[in-house]
């Protein structure tokens, strides 16, 4: 039996409807959204290294463009991979986009992959190095 009352699979995968508008934010509100985006990034892991991509130092830059009357807020992420030949190079941007879209008020995410400068272990946080036993 097929349950026709359930929404189609593509509807289930969509980000939840935003309940807040991220415009005309105070400095404190921007800091709060920043922490929420960082928390979202910390849910994405490199499958070969048991550390999240934020602590690995794969995130180079995050730009926040607040909402205006026509659209919700937009996040643009510049990131890299541990190596250009990483087996998840095609999937990682989607994982990052999906994670950030779960932040209430974010309507659009753009992920730019770059290899300049190349990633090195020097970009890892002390937390990541400790997790990997490098300290």
Structural domain count of the chain = 1
The share of the chain scoring above pLDDT 90, in percent, equals: 49
Output the domain CATH number for residue 76: 3.30.300.130
Q: What is the pTM of this model?
A: 0.79
pLDDT at 116 over 60: yes
Query: In which element (H, E) is residue 61 found?
Result: strand 59-65
Domain that holds residue 66: 27-120
Q: What is the pLDDT of residue 68?
A: 67
Share of the chain above pLDDT 70, in %: 80
Q: Is position 6 within any domain? A: no
| Confidence band for 128, pLDDT divided at 50, 70 and 90 | very high
Kindly state whether residue 126 falls inside one of the protein's structural domains: no
The pLDDT of 115-127, averaged and rounded, is: 93
End-to-end CA distance of the chain: give it in Å, rounded. Answer: 56
């Amino acid at each position: 039996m097929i349950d026709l009352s359930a929404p189609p699979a593509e509807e289930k995968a969509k980000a939840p409807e935003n309940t807040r508008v991220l415009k005309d934010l105070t400095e404190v509100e921007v800091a709060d959204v920043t922490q929420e985006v960082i928390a979202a990034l910390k849910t994405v892991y490199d499958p070969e290294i048991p550390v999240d991509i934020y602590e690995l130092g794969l995130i180079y830059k995050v730009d926040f463009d607040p909402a205006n009357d026509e659209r919700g807020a937009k996040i643009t992420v510049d990131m890299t991979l541990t190596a250009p030949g990483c087996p998840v190079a095609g999937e990682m941007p989607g994982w990052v986009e999906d994670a950030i879209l779960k932040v209430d008020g974010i309507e659009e995410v753009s992920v730019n992959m770059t290899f300049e400068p190349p990633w090195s272990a020097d970009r890892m946080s002390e937390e990541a190095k400790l997790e990997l036993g490098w300290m």
